[in-house]
Amino acid sequence: MAGLMQDRPLSLPHVFHRAEMLFADKEIVTATASGERRSTYGECFERVRRLAAALDRLDVPAEARVGTFCSNTQTHLELYFAVPCSGRVLHTINIRLFPDQLAFVVADAQDDVVFVDRALLPALWQVADRMPSVRHIVVIDDGSNEAVPDDPRVVDYETLLAGGPPRSGRFVIDDENSAAALCYTSGTTGDPKGVLYSHRSTVLHSLTSLAADVLAIGERDRVQPVVPMFHVNAWGLPYTAVLAGANLILPGTQTAPGELLAQIERHRVTISAGVPTIWMGALPLLHEHDLSSLRMVLCGGAAVPQSLSEGWRAAIGLPITQAWGMTETSPICTVGVLRSADNELDDEERARLRATQGRPVPLFDLRLVNPETGAEQPWDGVSAGELQAAGPWIASGYLNGSGADAFTDDGWLRTGDIATVDPRGYLNLVDRTKDLVKSGGEWISSVTLENHIMGHPAVAEAAVVAKPDPRWSERPVAFVVPRDDARLTTDDVLAHLRPLVPKWWLPDEVHFVDALPKTGTGKFAKRVLRARLDAIVPEGST
């Protein structure tokens, strides 16, 4: 028997129109190099309507991908709503991509238009000749003085908005499963893969984030997403905050730890969110600010060391709340909000629980699968298995059909993380099968680094592994086997890599070895290398 309830689409236009009606007086603050920009939701949303009309005037078709190459700003928020509410797909491009990857994602997405902060124009312009699908490049004047190239594709954002009346009436998205946003994740081969969020997944993810035992975001909150808006929609926070009617406090380009803390203090931020590197950098400065408004400091993207969370607790009385997720999972799936019973535990035990990745949020299912046998592992806190994920905001595939092996036959996402879960549901990540290094919240492909290093004529073999790093979470370390009699130095390897990869990808250490350990199937035994990392003495390096 079918239920007799209305089948109304879960779509971003609902979020937008509700906020337009109920929260027009709420505030959006963006830090700028020269001060700050303040707007009400009402003012911002009028610009959203202007932007939607401007996309029509530019003849951007329905479902076309609209790229953004922007910091966390109000303008980026305008794009977050105007693009999907008007039936296009928001493609948030990672501003730290190396030119080849940048050209790849724009081509893979077939972006029709790209919006770019003026300060970021030089980075985008490196591939301006390799973006055949892009008809317009809309430059957002952020007060920087980067030269704007004389190119027929270039359009000024404010001129565009002023070019006609705003869209009137309601935005309509009939199919809640239609695509709203696109974000690329890195792959082991180095080619990023597109994750396509739907209106429905975005609304459900936002709604769950509001829940009391998740982020408990409400209208009274002042939310500061430090995590970039090009990284998994800043963990969904811009949408969640607008759904709740919370003030949004955006750091723009002012992301140094002292600037972030000053913004928290000035605007009485209640919840902030960023990767461990950010909160590690802020730790020594906490005593210089009044941070008493904070009720949650959310942290994920990489493991949160117990010492970091406890450092915050010692300094301001508030430990860090850890969450786990991925680009493929929208991202929030587990959050370290302790159970009431666990709040009775002693400080040390609670600190240990907060160093786990937390417990599954509503509507999210996880299971642990033994990679060898395929058997599901018990939640006993000891048995480790690959973490597999299912739920209404978990990807079912990648754009253009790539990476199909990331999904099981019964439709679960293989996360590439190895974990245990204890009987209370606390997730603990213990290893990773993905051949990637996560530095400062961004991926470095070890396979790409290895291939480049092995491209050096004096190198026989090379393997790159992640080394734990207190500041960046992880840094790449290379093990290199030189060819017979070749004299090779660390500087030779780094000089060879420099033109090929972003500067922040360069390995922190290069160890020269006679041979690399291999697995039964002939692959580099990275687990062995990681375990030996401290023991191996560099040979032949100068």
Is residue 438 part of the annotated active site? The answer reads yes
Q: Which position among 201, 277, 327, 446 is part of the footprint of ligand AMP (CB under 6 A)?
A: 327
- Give the residue, chosen from 39, 322, 377, 446, that forms a contact with ligand AMP under the rule CB under 6 A: 322
Q: 283 by DSSP, 3-state: which?
A: helix
Q: Does 300 bind ligand AMP (CB under 6 A)?
A: yes
Interactions with ligand AMP, residue window 429-468 (CB under 6 A): 429, 432, 438, 443
What one-character-per-residue DSSP string does 476-537 give?
EEEEEEE-TT----HHHHHHHHTTTS-GGGS-SEEEE-S---B-TTSSB-HHHHHHHTTTPP
Residue of 176, 328, 442, 474 marked active site = 328
Neighbours of 219 (CB within 10 A): 12
- 326 is a contact residue toward ligand AMP (CB under 6 A): yes
242: contact with ligand AMP by CB under 6 A: no
Residue 224 contacts residue 271 (beta carbons within 8 Å): yes
Q: How far apart are CA 405 and CA 392, in angstroms?
A: 20
- Answer yes or no whether residue 208 interacts with ligand AMP by CB under 6 A: no
Query: Smallest gap, in angstroms, from Cβ of residue 420 to ligand AMP?
Result: 13
Between the CA of residue 370 and those of 324, 376, 394, 409, what are the distances in Å?
20, 6, 21, 15
Question: Hey, which residues between 145 and 204 contact ligand AMP (CB under 6 A)?
Answer: 185
CB of 299 to ligand AMP, least distance (A): 7
Contact between 93 and 71 under an 8 Å Cβ cutoff? The reply is: no
Residue type, 358: G
> Does 391 help bind ligand AMP (rule: CB under 6 A)?
no
Sequential DSSP letters for 436-491? EEEETTEEEEHHHHHHHHHTSTTEEEEEEEEEEETTTEEEEEEEEEE-TT----HH
Is 310 catalytic? The answer is no
Is 505 a known active-site residue? no
Q: Is residue 420 part of the contact set for ligand AMP (CB under 6 A)? A: no
| Residue number, 252 or 301, with CB nearest to ligand AMP | 301
What Å distances lie between residue 407 and 177, 377, 388, CA to CA? 19, 18, 9
**Burial tier of 133 (Cβ tally within 10 Å: 0-12, 13-18, 19+):** middle
Q: Does 492 bind ligand AMP (CB under 6 A)?
A: no
Which tokens go with 492? 């030779």
Please tell me whether residue 406 binds ligand AMP under the rule CB under 6 A: no
Catalytic residue selected from 443, 448, 450, 472: 443
Which conformational region is residue 425 in: left (phi greater than 0), alpha (psi within -120 to 50 degrees), or beta?
A: left
Binding residue (CB under 6 A) for ligand AMP from 31, 302, 368, 459: 302
User: Can 193 be counted among the known catalytic residues?
Assistant: no
The answer to whether residue 415 forms part of the interface with ligand AMP (CB under 6 A) is: yes
What does the block give as tokens for 151? Answer: 């190119």
Window of 29-37, 196-204, 326-334, 483-491 that interacts with ligand AMP by CB under 6 A = 326-334
Asked whether position 232 contacts ligand AMP by CB under 6 A, the answer is yes
At its nearest, how many Å lie between ligand AMP and the CB of residue 304?
A: 6
- Name the one range near ligand AMP by CB under 6 A: 40-48, 135-143, 150-158, 301-309: 301-309
Catalytic residue numbers? 185, 328, 438, 443
Chain residues binding ligand AMP by CB under 6 A are 185, 232, 300-303, 322, 324-327, 331, 357, 415-417, 429, 432, 438, 443
